[in-house]
Homo-oligomer: A and B are copies of this chain.
Amino acid sequence: MTQTRQRVEAWLGEFESALRDRDVERAAGLFDVDSFWRDLVAFSWNITTVEGRDGVTDLLKARLDDVDPAGFALTEEPAEADGVTEAWISFETGVGRGIGHLRLRGDRAWTLLTTLRELKGFEERRPQGVEHQLSKGRRTWKELREAEQRELGYERQPYVVVIGGGQAGIALGARLRQLGVPALVLDRHERPGDQWRKRYKSLCLHDPVWYDHLPYLPFPTNWPVFAPKDKIGDWLEMYTRVMEVPYWASTEVRSARFDAAEHRWSVTVEHDGEPVELRPTHLVFATGMSGKPNYPSLPGQDVFRGEQHHSSQHPGPEAYEGKRVVVVGSNNSAFDICGALWEHDADVTMVQRSSTHIVKSASLMEIGLGSLYSERAVANGITTDRADMIFASLPYRIMHEFQIPLYQRMAERDADFYARLEKAGFAHDWGDDGSGLFMKYLRRGSGYYIDVGAADLVADGRIKLAHGQVDHLTEDAVVLADGTTLPADLVVYATGYGSMNGWVADIVDRETADRVGKVWGLGSDTTKDPGPWEGEQRNMWKPTRQENLWFHGGNLHQSRHYSLYLALQLKARYEGLPTPVYHLQEVHHTG
């Protein structure tokens, strides 16, 4: 046995022994002063990060007896590099089994990640498919499915209703089905995948395929690295069908009310034009991390004779050949839309109001994601789940420290590109602390562009650039604060989105939306992510301040990975297991 393995096994042994003895002080003492324990459900019935010995102490005092953990063991040979020992572990609790990750510095834990993977007695199993025993009146799979589809939402109520049938709702729906939790996913579009099909035609995924897999059924080995929107649309449609996700398309959600006495929702929907009342116990908003569109209110919008719309309503470039288009905004949507318009010979001006962080897709893929989500990573044995777990093991508090060097490398690699961008007058940033794209995404969900070609058009002036806030519109122009007048036939407001709880305000009520508070963000005290420090994403994948109301979403990696933990929390409630939540999040911002 190697020294490294000995050290880890010694730590695990002492940790388990302290836990068994209920000796919280001893257990906390095994952590470094500067340390983090991140728990996904297993210990906390929450998505939780505690810091330092005090944090560990508080978590264990609250949860140790109840969780009754045991069986901490290495699952493979640990590794050591730069004074840090990394180990993959498994463990069990009174009600479940989990896996985790440990980083030791010397003999003390620096980071610990524990995640619940299954509930005892409710493990996911591959179904047999058919009984190999004939009996009168035995129903076929097709008959059972048809009966289910007829009854669900009518004679039989789903335990969970998921509002939003994009990739997040679909992934959660698949997990819930596999866990045997009756659920129903609702979407306003006619077909799964339409959320992608109906977007502007040049849209593709900006994350590479290894990052994007859905649960259970990864993209095939010949799937393109960057999938075009229609191909993703087809995949989602197919996935929904073959994974038997219970799905109501063409369904608008009109309202939802929580019955606090019955601990149950009443959700009024229009399904294929018919009003239906659903009575689920739990309601999940999977409406997209982008909440309601921010449509700025500006003087002169009523006199402007041209077209105006928010980027989310942009139909694509086809109708605008030869037209003058002013796009307000300089982040992802703005670049995508400007680029497509340029390709179709529109006269395009981008109005930049604040700085944007840009990184080239190839550089992000290579340097930012390459060690975890790439052909290279796969060849190195990094499975999708392993990559997700490595990512999850990095505490948000210190994640920026890991990111900064990567973005320094990207700055060097693409120095020429950034120089040209700057020369064109584009205001570029690297995030408040140089930590780049992913931190910007985690902190504020905006303020960046993954460059897939449009930035060069700005750098060399083929897309014109103007600067400043919009002051007002005239009949045929956009006028900026400094008086710059931009004649326009079309104005596109690529002005972002509100917090997801905007949908709660619309569907439930303002009071509930405020009670739940702002969704997303870490409280890092950086631009558009005001403190105090939350420790985890606000409101995502965990209990909220509204009983039985949840949010699911994020990017494809998060939708995939966190769908497991959200599904397990719902399964536990469905089976009547006690789920005492450690430190239900506080609300510091309403939206």
Contact = CB atoms under 8 A, between A and B. Distances in A.
Given A129-B204, A230-B141, A454 B222 contact: no
A229 B225 CA distance: 33
Interface stretch (A101-109, A120-128, A285-293, A552-560): A120-128
Given A134-B453, A140-B201, A128 B224 contact: yes
Interface stretch (A79-87, A237-245, A408-416): A237-245
A377 interface: no
A220 B127 CA distance: 12
A342 B128 contact: no
A154 interface: no
A136 B341 CA distance: 10
B126 A225 contact: yes
Given A134-B339, A136-B345, A224 B129 contact: yes
A149 B187 CA distance: 30
A137 interface: yes
Contacts of A124: 222
A567 to B, nearest CB: 13
Nearest to A231: B141
Contacts of A141: 228, 230-231
A220 B217 contact: yes
A133 interface: yes
A223 interface: yes
Interface string A210-248: 000000110011111111111100110110011100000
A12 B145 CA distance: 55
A241 B238 contact: yes
A586 to B, nearest CB: 38
A486 interface: no
Contacts of A132: 226, 360-362, 451-453
Contact of A238 (B137, B142, B226, B242): B242
A220 B216 contact: yes
The count of identical subunits is 2
A590 interface: no
Q: Which of A129, A143, A362 has the most CB of B within 10 A?
A: A129
Interface string A387-402: 0000000000000000
Contacts of A126: 209, 221-225, 375
A135 B344 CA distance: 9
A410 B217 CA distance: 34
A401 to B, nearest CB: 29
Nearest to A238: B238
A386 to B, nearest CB: 16
A525 interface: no
B178 A222 contact: yes
A572 interface: no
Count class of interface residues, chain A: 35 or more
Contacts of A342: 134
Contacts of A220: 216-217, 242-243
Q: Which of A134, A223, A453 has the most CB of B within 10 A?
A: A134
B230 A142 contact: yes
A229 B221 CA distance: 26
A433 interface: no
Q: Which of A130, A131, A137, A241 has the most CB of B within 10 A?
A: A130
A354 interface: no
A350 B221 CA distance: 47
A202 interface: yes
Contacts of A137: 343
A237 B136 CA distance: 31
A453 to B, nearest CB: 4
Q: Which of A205, A224, A238, A243 has the most CB of B within 10 A?
A: A238
Contact of A224 (B127, B221, B452): B127
A211 to B, nearest CB: 13
Q: Which of A124, A141, A178, A362 has the most CB of B within 10 A?
A: A141
Nearest to A452: B132
A584 interface: no
A343 B134 CA distance: 7
A457 interface: yes
Given A136-B345, A238-B238, A241-B238, A128 B226 contact: yes
Nearest to A361: B132
Interface in A468-491: none
B222 A127 contact: yes
A218 to B, nearest CB: 8
A217 to B, nearest CB: 4
A360 B226 CA distance: 46
A209 B204 CA distance: 33
A124 B221 CA distance: 10
A462 to B, nearest CB: 9
A456 B131 CA distance: 14
Given A129-B224, A220-B242, A238-B238, 17 more contacts: A126-B222, A129-B209, A130-B204, A130-B226, A132-B452, A133-B453, A134-B339, A136-B343, A137-B343, A141-B230, A142-B201, A142-B229, A145-B230, A178-B222, A217-B220, A238-B241, A238-B242
Sorted nearest first, the 9 A-B pairs with minimum C-beta distance are: A129-B224, A141-B228, A238-B238, A217-B220, A129-B226, A142-B230, A134-B453, A216-B220, A127-B224
14 contacts: A126-B209, A128-B226, A130-B228, A132-B452, A132-B453, A134-B456, A134-B457, A138-B202, A138-B343, A140-B201, A140-B230, A141-B228, A222-B243, A237-B238
